[in-house]
Amino acid sequence: MSTENIKDEARRLLDRLPENITWDQLMHEIYVRQSIEAGLADSNAGRTVDVAEVREKFRLPS
């Protein structure tokens, strides 16, 4: 994402948040957004692991 797009998205995020938001809440919102975008990028690039493989690796029931 280009810098201008990030700035635009940040502005939209701020506009959607309540007026009395704390710095910690704002940082959490940014972190969640960044995590989701990173996950989507990984998925689009094929960097995923099948659920069955994860369950097997951690010896979880299927």
Residue 62 maps to a domain: no
Q: Report, as an integer, the average pLDDT of 14-32.
A: 97
Residue 12 maps to a domain: yes
Range of the domain at 41: 3-57
Residue 18 maps to a domain: yes
pLDDT of residue 1: 65
Query: How many structural domains comprise the chain?
Result: 1
Decide if pLDDT at 8 tops 90.
yes
Q: Report, as an integer, the average pLDDT of 29-51.
A: 96
Q: For residue 18, what are the contacts with CB-CB under 8 A and spacing of at least 6?
A: none
Tell me the whole-structure pTM to 2 decimals. Answer: 0.73
Residue 53 maps to a domain: yes
pLDDT of residue 2: 72
d(CA 26, CA 39): 20
